[in-house]
Amino acid sequence: MADDLFTPTITPAAYEQRRPPWRPGSLLYPAVFGGVAAVTVLALINSTRLRLPGRAVLAIVGAGLAALAARVLVTLTLLDGQSGGAARLVGALAGALVWLVANLVQKGRFRAYQLRGGTPASLWGPGVAAVLLFGFAEGFLILLAAGS
């Protein structure tokens, strides 16, 4: 006689297939090299892969918008719109601040994903693409704001 007490009720087939998330700690590299926009977009994609609640996604969006506004404001007022080393440092610091929020929000869910046996996806392709695409877009935005 088989006892139903020891049969699992949730089978692996009950879970839908999804793309594996990236390590939240690895988002620091696009944050430093690509800036605020790159890390915000990658963190939002990663939050959907981790199925974060809406409040966590709003925290990432809010941090991204605040850091982008602060980056443009500091670059235009304190640095007179220059695009030299100090402006790049401000962009890297602003991106790192967004990464800090994303890392705090995503770390718990990612740890649970790893404990279930999940392996993270590679960030090389999407990270380089985000650095190039959004890094140049952010620089172009600052140039537009400085020109007007």
Concatenated DSSP letters of 46-63: HHHHTT--HHHHHHHHHH
For residue 16, pLDDT beyond 70: no
As a whole number of angstroms, the distance between CA 77 and CA 94 comes to: 16
Tokens found for residue 13 = 């087939």
For residue 14, pLDDT beyond 50: no
For residue 13, pLDDT beyond 60: no
Mean pLDDT of 96-121: 96
Place of tokens 């695009």: 83
| Mean pLDDT lowest among 6-15, 24-33, 40-49 | 6-15
pLDDT band at 76 (very low <50, low <70, confident <90, very high): confident
The distance in angstroms from the start CA to the end CA of the chain is 81
Percent of residues, the chain, with pLDDT higher than 90 = 71
CB 49 within 8 A of CB 20: yes
CA atoms within 13 A on the CB side of 22: 24
| Mean pLDDT lowest among 85-89, 117-121, 131-135 | 85-89
As a whole number of angstroms, the distance between CA 13 and CA 24 comes to: 27
Look at residue 66 in the predicted model and tell me its pLDDT.
98
pLDDT band at 10 (very low <50, low <70, confident <90, very high): low
Look at residue 11 in the predicted model and tell me its pLDDT.
57
Q: What is the mean pLDDT of the chain?
A: 90
